[in-house]
Structure 1
Amino acid sequence: MRRGRWLAVLFCLCWLMIAAWPAGAKGENENTDELAVVTADRVNVRQGPGVPYRPLANVHRGETYRLLDVKDGWVKIEWKPNRTGWIATPYAAPVQRMEIVQEDRLRLRQEPSLDGRIIGHLAQGDRVAVIQEEGEWKQIVTNEAVGWAAASYLAAAEPLRNSQRTGVVTADSLNVRIAPSLDAERVGRLVRGEHVEIVETKQDWYKIVARSGSGGWVAADYVEMKSGQAVESEEDAVVASVSPVGVSLAAIQGNGPRRYVSRWTRGPIQALAGKTVVLDAGHGGKDGGAQSVNGVVEKALTMETAERLKEKLEMYGARVVLTRAGDDYVPLSARVAAARLYQADAFISLHYDSAADRDASGITVYYYDRFADYGLAQSFQGPFTQLSTLPFRGIAFGDYYVLRENERPSVLLELGYLSNPSDAGTVATDGYQEAVTTAIASAVRRYFE
């Protein structure tokens, strides 16, 4: 009897354990990783969940990463193998699923409606991250935008293979871009013989991770699989590396059949080559400028904007001079003298506004000389109008010393009101700083084109 009771107890315990086992538990071999997708142009990955933590890297819109944790408005991701960091939740979203576009030139809209403004088009075969559904529409993230597409033209994507392919760069100099397009911003460069891991293929582009940990998109023509599946021969690789300027499609004669190498490019597009731009970060040192109620100081913000903008303009080939390189007090006369000394093709003074009216909001471009400055000021109208974060207040005459006494084409930009709590919270974010400096760089390019 005693043994029978023990067997009965043991039987009951087994059933209790089976009932308590999670219904959704998965085997170790199944992929249970969640993904987060980046929703802004360029976002800092930080060491910890907060702005004071040191930036480790940049990630870009449309890129997906393993989602590890969510904490106090921050998302923890694995941004490269065995390396983790945090990004702010306004610039990332959990991925519901990855899907493939089934229709060429599928319209991407601002709202989930046929009346929604068209903000772009998708190509058949594009792999996109779905972050939300509403009726017959799905909100998706691509490298170029976040928008809504008709759900009927999307289909579930096959999971990416865990085993990455290794490639070798076959060109002397290969541009790495933030998106699979020749018009996308260049974020790095690889040299012949460098090994990369290919993590995604999109039409004629590879998404790669270099041994240094940096990544982006490169033209597939100039990367050869270690197994020899990319370019047809060593001759093709040599021609790709020395391709002449201005040729879009050329025939190569040889002993074998006639072959073609397409999409030859000039390398980095130096739209501002030969131009000198002086960036004037407003205030500094003992002159702190405006200050928001939550402690954002104008002199620190203008310096951050100037440094980001300098990097972008230099990528376009410009020679960029800063009127101050740190928290230094620089007299107005010295700022104007820098424009004269370096024979600036454009002088841009960066500021953040303040007003007694706490509702005052937005961006303003100021000029002084109708003939010398107005053309430069006008170039900002398009890029600033397209910014969705703050309203563009327009172009106005401004009797400021750095404009009035300047002999070079010059403008003064007020990039938001620190006296407005909403503006102040916006302008201090990574997303705004990235968006506004991209708009300024675009305006400068327009001016010189």
Structure 2
Amino acid sequence: MKGKWFIGLILLFLMIAGTIPPLSANPALAVGGEAEITGSTVNIRSGPGLSYSVSGALEKGEKVSIVSESGDWLEISTGSGSGWIASWLARKTSSAETNKASGQTAVAAVDHLNIRAQADISSSVLAQMSAGDQALIVNDAGNWLEIDFRGVNGFVSKQYISTAGQNQEKPAPAKSDVSSFEIAVDALNVRNQPDLSSSIQKTVKKGEVFPVRSIQGNWVEIQISEKEGGWVYAFHGHLSDKPVQKAASPKAENITILTDGTNLRTSPSTASAVASRANAGQEFAVVDKQGDWYQVLLPDGQNAFVADWVVTNGETKVQTAEAPEPQTRKKGTLNGLTIVLDPGHGGNDGGTVGVRETKEKDLTLKTSEILSHHLRSAGAEVLLTRQSDVYVDLRTRVSTGHQVAADAFISLHYDATDDNSVSGFTSYYMLDYQQALAESINEGLSGKIDLRNRGARHGNYLVLRENKQAAVLVELGYLSNYNDERIVTSSKFQEQAALGLYDGLVNYFDAKLSQ
């Protein structure tokens, strides 16, 4: 009887001991700071080891706060709780010691401050800061500061930076101390909200000046009518404290029809009804400009719309202006180069539609706009074949590049197939002189996005076949594949894809400098 009692006592002890978590060989040490997830999917566990239960998961690129460290494991805190992750699947972006040592943020003292990939004036430009923008100082690198600006990690020159303690109270967004904003690019979209995904209200032209209502980060809210305001990207214009001067009765703009039988429509779309037809040489007064369409006044007093690619206003259709003086281009920049971006489809040509109802025509325009900002920041002259949801004929797209003798023509698309298991990105070329660009673009993308790389391939597409310029057609993922569609519609992918395309272009043109 005593033996049975003794065995029962031992079993009870073992059961209790089994509920106690094993002691780590390395006691947890308080660390602090932040880490970025580098694995594609990283499990959050209840303790520092693979034997602990999984309580959640993190995706690549997510940032977390470090609470403590135990051996090869990090205790982290997220918005939804805390747990442990493997340190080899994350990268420390800052530590308590680093932050304490600097205790500072970098404040841009000038507009258009370049954030570069390396601490070198010839290094690639990753993004830009506007005057007053703040970034976390990661490291001091001599005449440069390594910073983290809205998720972009890079270097800025100290001479254009002032510093402030992180514990200092951030000034409240004051009312704008500037009065006007002058457009510095050929055409600039005005949006409803300070976001590239927001809908476009109208397009404004180079040289136009508007009153400033407010400023939010890299966006400026301008007054476009007595009652209406809209948002434009600050990189593409100049702020001034001079009040807007009312123009003295400017001469009304006229457009002239180029071909007989041109359709004048009831709304700015090739899918809308035809209100009237006009013949070559007829002139109409312009009431307004909406994207790629002119709103004109008909002889009977009614308004109608005509596409800007079938008329002339006394200037060339694609604004080439005077040829700029040759510029000496350094590696890592795009100064003096002209690049045409072709957002695939548009208007009544919607392209493919994803399994989650994503429209290809919307996604190609978004990618093109993000890429155009990076290219212009590096000094390139950028033209888009369309800037809104309109249909543009394929040959018209190609002729845009021919008229400006573009150095590169990039046609952006998203793919689809009946086999929904097919995924990945592909870069197509048709002619021998296009192959090097396609291969460089493909390599740039492979370093930035996580989709399957289907390589640079030969493709018989009109925008390549009839193109006299170096050209590439890029399929950035399959909307017919559920996982691809989920990835490519994310803001993170859009930014990374734009950076990959940017890197490919920079590397392509850098290689030509060496030839």
Q: Quick check: 1:358 aligned with 2:420?
A: yes
Distance change (3 Å), C-alpha of 1:348 and 1:198? closer
Instruction: Report how far residue 379 of structure 1 moved.
Output: 1.4
Structure 1 Cα separation of the partners of residues 118 and 159 of structure 2 = 13
Instruction: Report how far residue 217 of structure 1 moved.
Output: 4.8
Contact 1:177 1:187 in 2 (8 A): yes
Contact 2:127 2:374 in 1 (8 A): no
1:188 maps to a residue whose letter is Q
Contact 1:312 1:441 in 2 (8 A): yes
Per the alignment, residue 335 of structure 1 pairs with 397
Structure 2 Cα separation of the partners of residues 346 and 168 of structure 1 = 33
Per the alignment, residue 298 of structure 1 pairs with 360
Per the alignment, residue 437 of structure 2 pairs with 376
Alignment TM-score, normalising by the size of structure 2: 0.47
Q: Quick check: 1:140 aligned with 2:91?
A: yes
Distance change (3 Å), C-alpha of 1:177 and 1:132? farther
Distance change (3 Å), C-alpha of 1:315 and 1:163? closer
Distance change (3 Å), C-alpha of 1:161 and 1:414? same
Per the alignment, residue 218 of structure 1 pairs with 156
2:128 maps to a residue whose letter is G
Contact 1:176 1:216 in 2 (8 A): no
Structure 2 Cα separation of the partners of residues 162 and 435 of structure 1 = 29
Match of 1:280 among 342, 346, 360: 342
Match of 1:416 among 477, 480, 504: 477
Per the alignment, residue 367 of structure 1 pairs with 429
Instruction: Report how far residue 133 of structure 1 moved.
Output: 5.0
How many residues get paired? 284
Instruction: Report how far residue 160 of structure 1 moved.
Output: 2.2
Per the alignment, residue 181 of structure 1 pairs with 119
Match of 2:368, SS state, is helix
Point out the structure with max Rg over C-alpha. 2
Structure 1 Cα separation of the partners of residues 410 and 112 of structure 2 = 32
Match of 2:62 among 92, 103, 109: 92
Match of 1:447 among 503, 508, 512: 508
Match of 1:202, SS state, is strand
CA displacement, residues 183-215 of structure 1 (integer Å, 9 cap, x when unaligned): 363533678xx89898565232446899xxx99
1:94 maps to a residue whose letter is V
2:503 maps to a residue whose letter is S
Q: Quick check: 1:386 aligned with 2:486?
A: no
List alignment gaps of at least 5 residues for structure 1.
Answer: 1-33, 41-72, 74-87, 100-111, 114-130, 144-154, 227-265
Instruction: Report how far residue 383 of structure 1 moved.
Output: 1.9
Distance change (3 Å), C-alpha of 1:277 and 1:93? same
Alignment TM-score, normalising by the size of structure 1: 0.53
CA displacement, residues 122-165 of structure 1 (integer Å, 9 cap, x when unaligned): xxxxxxxxx9653x85732449xxxxxxxxxxx96265279758
Instruction: Report how far residue 167 of structure 1 moved.
Output: 8.2
Q: Quick check: 1:397 aligned with 2:397?
A: no
Structure 1 Cα separation of the partners of residues 367 and 37 of structure 2 = 21
Structure 2 Cα separation of the partners of residues 436 and 209 of structure 1 = 20
Structure 1 Cα separation of the partners of residues 499 and 153 of structure 2 = 20
Structure 2 Cα separation of the partners of residues 287 and 195 of structure 1 = 40
Per the alignment, residue 57 of structure 1 pairs with none
Match of 1:324 among 386, 405, 417: 386
C-alpha RMSD of the superposition: 4.3
Structure 2 Cα separation of the partners of residues 138 and 89 of structure 1 = 11
Contact 2:36 2:90 in 1 (8 A): no
1:203 maps to a residue whose letter is A
Contact 1:274 1:318 in 2 (8 A): yes
Structure 2 Cα separation of the partners of residues 218 and 133 of structure 1 = 32
Contact 1:350 1:414 in 2 (8 A): yes
Match of 1:96, SS state, is strand
Distance change (3 Å), C-alpha of 1:400 and 1:94? same
Q: Quick check: 1:160 aligned with 2:100?
A: yes
Structure 2 Cα separation of the partners of residues 431 and 164 of structure 1 = 27
Instruction: Report how far residue 175 of structure 1 moved.
Output: 3.6
CA displacement, residues 228-247 of structure 1 (integer Å, 9 cap, x when unaligned): xxxxxxxxxxxxxxxxxxxx
Distance change (3 Å), C-alpha of 1:412 and 1:176? closer
**Seq. identity, %:** 32
Per the alignment, residue 77 of structure 1 pairs with none
Contact 1:180 1:202 in 2 (8 A): no
Instruction: Report how far residue 399 of structure 1 moved.
Output: 1.3
Instruction: Report how far residue 389 of structure 1 moved.
Output: 1.3
Structure 2 Cα separation of the partners of residues 444 and 166 of structure 1 = 30
